[in-house]
Chain A
Amino acid sequence: MTALRITPLDLLHRRLGARMIDFAGWSLPVKYPTGTLAEHRQARTAAALFDVSHMAQISLHGDAAADLERLVPGDIKNLPMGRQRYTFFLNEAGGIIDDLMVAHHPGRLVIVANAVRTEADLGHLDTSGIAREHHHDRALLALQGPQAANILARLGHEAAALPFLGITTCAIAGIGPCWVSRSGYTGEDGFEISVPASDAETLATRLLAEPECAPAGLAARDTLRLEAGLCLYGHDIDMLTSPIEAGLGWTIPKRRREALDFPGATTIHDHLVNGPPRLRVGIRPQGRPPARAGTDIAALDGTQAGIITSGTVSPTLGAPVAMGYVRRDLAEDGSPLVLLVRGQRLDAHQVKLPFVPHRFAAR
C-alpha cells in the first residue's frame, strides 16, 4: 500500500477538525465538525469552500485544439478564448475514459480531470502523442453557493464578473495569479480557483474568513452533485457507458456528429440514430430508505430494468433520490419502477433531472 497523497491544504483541514478519508489515493476531508447536512445547506444558501486539489490540472500548450479533438467528441476548435467546456476522453467502443473540463487560456488549453482517472488520462495523452504539462504545483479550490459571487466581488472583482463557464487569470485577495472559472459541481453559482500550491492555504484562509463562507467536505460535494443530477465518474459514467446513454449527447456538436472523427464514433452514431440500449434517468424512491449504487431496478412486470448508480437522501428534499440506468423502452418521466433494496421491493418513479434546479450565473 502506498502512502496517501496530501493536498496543500492538509494542515488547514486538520486544524479545522476535518475527518479525513482516502479518496482515489488522496487524503481528503469527508466532513468538518458541522457535519454534511450543514455543509450541504451552506452551499445551497450561502457559500461553501471545497478543496478539490486532488483533481488533475493539465496544460496542453500551443494550438492544441485539433490534437485534443482527436480524443474527445466536443467542440474544442471553436471554444473561444476565456471559455470552458465539458467533454470526455472516449475509448474506441464509445465508452468514457474520463469526463473533463477544458478551458481555453491564452496560448494553451487547461484540462481539469478526475483524480481517480489521472494516470489513465496522462497515459492516454502520452500514447496519443500529445505533449502535456501536469500541474503538480497548483491547488484547486471550489467556492460554491449563491453568495460566492458576492465574496469574489470584494476580493477579485474581475473573477466576479465572469459569465457561467467563463475563465480568467487574476489575483484573488492579492494572491495569485489564480486561474478562475465560473463553474462547479453543485448546481449552484460558483467558482473554481486554481492557485499556486504555496499560496493555497493563505487563499483558503482568506476565503474562509468571509462571513458567508464555511468549509465543506466530499460527502456534501456528493449530495450536492447528485441533487444537481451531475455524473460521478466510476459510478454514473465509466468505460462501459457512452455519453448518449448518459444523456450527455448535448456535449457533441453537429460538426462532430457529421464528421464522426473521434474515438468510438461508430457506437455514438449508432446510439444517436437507433437509440442507446439504456438511458440514465432520475429516480425518486417512495418512502424513506435510500436506494444506493448497485441496487437492482425491475420493471412492473418483474423483468430486469437496470441498476442504480448513485443514491442518497437529498438534504434539500428530505427524501431519497437516485440516478441509474434503465432499458430504453422503460425510460420515461413519471413512469414507475421497482427497486430491490435489501430483499424488499420499493416503489419508485422516474423524474426529470436535476432534482434541485440549477442556479448557475448567466452565460
Chain B
Amino acid sequence: MAETRYTKEHEWIRLEDDGTLTVGITDHAQDALGDIVFIELPAVDRDVVEGETVATVESTKAANDVFAPISGRIAEINENVVEDPGLINRDPTGEGWFWRMEPTDEDAFETLLDEEGYEAYLETL
C-alpha cells in the first residue's frame, strides 16, 4: 500500500509506485476552508521549490495558498478539481487530489510528517 505523509500546512503527499508524489489537502483542511469554489493549479512542467506557493484554493469566504511540500517538477494536474472544485470537499484524499510531482530529492519524502505525527499536530491546534 502506498505510503502517505503530511505537512503542517495540511497537505497530504502520497508516494506512488513510480516514485512520483501525489499532493492534495487533508480532510481537516477542506473542513476548515468550507465550500471550495475555485482552484488555480500550477502549470505542468513547472519547477517548484519547497515552501513556494504553487496553488490557490478559494472557498466562499477567502483565498488560501497551497505550498509545495518539497522541491520538484509538476508532472500532472487534476483538471477534474478545476472543473468541479466541490470534489475537494467531497473526496479530499481521493478524487480531490491537486497535482503529481517528481521530487528533486527522493529522500525528501521521508522528512515529512507521518500520519501519527500529523494527528499529533492536529491535537495541538
**Which among A222, A288, A289, A342 is the interface contact of B61 at CB below 8 angstroms?**
A222
Most buried by A among B31, B35, B38, B63: B35
Q: Which residues of chain B come closer than 8 Å to A220, judged between CB atoms?
A: 60
Q: Is B60's CB under 8 angstroms from A315's CB? A: yes
Q: How far is the CA of A254 from the CA of B58 in the complex (A)?
A: 44
Closest Cβ neighbor of A313 among chain B residues: B37
Q: Which residues of chain A come closer than 8 Å to B58, judged between CB atoms?
A: 289-290, 292, 313
Query: A191-216: which have CB < 8 Å to B?
Result: none
Size of B's binding interface in residues, CB under 8 A: 16
Contact with A along B30-49 (1 / 0, CB 8 A): 01101101101000000000
Q: Which residues of chain A come closer than 8 Å to B26, judged between CB atoms?
A: none
Closest Cβ neighbor of B40 among chain A residues: A289
CB distance from A185 to the nearest CB of B (A): 16
**B56 close to chain A: CB less than 8 A:** yes
Q: Which residues of chain B come closer than 8 Å to A342, judged between CB atoms?
A: 40, 56
Q: Which residues of chain A come closer than 8 Å to B62, judged between CB atoms?
A: 292
Closest Cβ neighbor of B56 among chain A residues: A342
Q: Which residues of chain B come closer than 8 Å to A35, judged between CB atoms?
A: 34-35, 89
CB distance from B22 to the nearest CB of A (A): 23
**B59 close to chain A: CB less than 8 A:** yes
Closest Cβ neighbor of A38 among chain B residues: B35
CB distance from B62 to the nearest CB of A (A): 7
Q: Which residues of chain A come closer than 8 Å to B56, judged between CB atoms?
A: 342
Q: Is A37's CB under 8 angstroms from B63's CB? A: no
Q: Is B38's CB under 8 angstroms from A313's CB? A: yes
**Which among A19, A31, A288, A315 is the interface contact of B38 at CB below 8 angstroms?**
A288
Q: Is A36's CB under 8 angstroms from B60's CB? A: yes
Q: How far is the CA of A290 from the CA of B32 in the complex (A)?
A: 19
Q: How far is the CA of A222 from the CA of B35 in the complex (A)?
A: 13
Closest Cβ neighbor of A35 among chain B residues: B35
**A91 close to chain B: CB less than 8 A:** no
Q: Which residues of chain B come closer than 8 Å to A115, judged between CB atoms?
A: none
Q: How far is the CA of A313 from the CA of B38 in the complex (A)?
A: 8
Q: Which residues of chain B come closer than 8 Å to A312, judged between CB atoms?
A: 37, 60-61
Q: Which residues of chain B come closer than 8 Å to A290, judged between CB atoms?
A: 37-38, 58, 63
Size of A's binding interface in residues, CB under 8 A: 20
Q: Is A313's CB under 8 angstroms from B63's CB? A: no
**Which among A30, A288, A289, A320 is the interface contact of B34 at CB below 8 angstroms?**
A30
Contact with A along B44-81 (1 / 0, CB 8 A): 00000000000010111111000000000000000000
Closest Cβ neighbor of A226 among chain B residues: B60
Q: Is A31's CB under 8 angstroms from B34's CB? A: yes
**A59 close to chain B: CB less than 8 A:** no
CB distance from B11 to the nearest CB of A (A): 20
CB distance from B38 to the nearest CB of A (A): 5
**A356 close to chain B: CB less than 8 A:** no
**A223 close to chain B: CB less than 8 A:** yes
CB distance from B36 to the nearest CB of A (A): 10
CB distance from B10 to the nearest CB of A (A): 15
Q: Is B60's CB under 8 angstroms from A313's CB? A: yes
Closest Cβ neighbor of B83 among chain A residues: A288
Contact with B along A19-57 (1 / 0, CB 8 A): 100000000001100011100100000000000000000
Closest Cβ neighbor of A315 among chain B residues: B60
Sample of 13 more A-B contacts, CB < 8 Å, known A36-B59, A223-B60, A313-B58: A19-B31, A19-B34, A36-B61, A40-B60, A220-B60, A222-B60, A289-B40, A290-B37, A290-B58, A290-B63, A292-B58, A312-B60, A315-B37
B-side residues, CB < 8 A to A, are: 31-32, 34-35, 37-38, 40, 56, 58-63, 86, 89
A-side residues, CB < 8 A to B, are: 19, 30-31, 35-37, 40, 219-220, 222-223, 288-290, 292, 312-313, 315, 320, 342
The 16 sampled A-B contact pairs (Cβ below 8 Å) are A19-B34, A31-B34, A35-B34, A37-B37, A37-B86, A40-B60, A219-B34, A220-B60, A289-B40, A289-B58, A290-B37, A290-B38, A292-B58, A312-B61, A313-B60, A342-B56
